[in-house]
Structures are given as C-alpha cells and as structure tokens.
C-alpha cells in the first residue's frame, strides 16, 4: 500500500515538473503526449513534428511545438460551423 502511494506521489511530481518546463526530452514528450515510443520516433523520422538534436545526440522538443502539433486538424463542432456559415452569409449580404 505504501509503495503504491509513494509511486503515485513520484508520478505527480514528475508531471508537475514537466508542465513547468519549456523544453522536453524525448522521454518527457512521451508522457506529455501520452503516445508510444515507436509512434513518436515515426513522427520525428517523417518530420511531421518539430524536434531538436543538439550535437546530433538526444532528441528534444519545445512544448509549444508539441501543443501546436496536437491541435492541428481541428474537428469543429456543429455549432461553430453554423456560426461560421452565418457570418459568411452575413458578409455576402452586406457587400
């Protein structure tokens, strides 16, 4: 019981530390994105996600780049699509 609680506390501290950092290591990015190692390696090899390799060694990511990557290909809600359509039609009437 105590081991499980200690493990949970350690995980919470790691998550807090990661949330405050601007640059993440490959391992930290895995946890931040909640993806597998092979998936993230595939994204870097296909250059679909921006990364840095100082001195040709370890892979690092800017957290803002990871956020941008996660938020691409937005699926808009029906309400948002209707609002956009309404605004476009309104602009056409005004012209």
Q: What is the DSSP letter of 54?
A: G
pTM of the entire predicted model: 0.63
Burial letters 19-34, b for 16+ CB under 10 A, else e: eeeeebebebbeebbe
Return the axis-axis angle of helices 26-33 and 2-20, rounded to nearest 10°: 100
Count of domains in the chain? Answer: 1
Written as tens digits, the pLDDT of the chain (95 aa) is: 566 667 666 656 666 566 678 999 999 999 999 999 999 999 999 999 999 999 888 999 999 999 999 998 878 888 988 888 888 887 777 66
Enclosing domain of residue 9: 2-94
**The tokens of 2 are what?**
């105590």
């Amino acid at each position: 019981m105590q081991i499980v609680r200690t493990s949970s506390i350690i995980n919470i501290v790691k998550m807090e530390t990661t949330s405050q950092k601007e640059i993440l290591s490959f391992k930290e990015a895995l946890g931040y994105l909640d993806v597998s190692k092979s998936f993230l390696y595939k994204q870097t090899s296909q250059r679909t996600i921006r990364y840095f390799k100082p001195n040709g060694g370890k892979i690092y990511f800017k957290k803002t780049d990871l956020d941008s990557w996660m938020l691409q290909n937005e699926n808009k809600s029906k309400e948002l699509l209707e609002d956009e359509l309404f605004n476009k039609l309104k602009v056409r009437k005004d012209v």
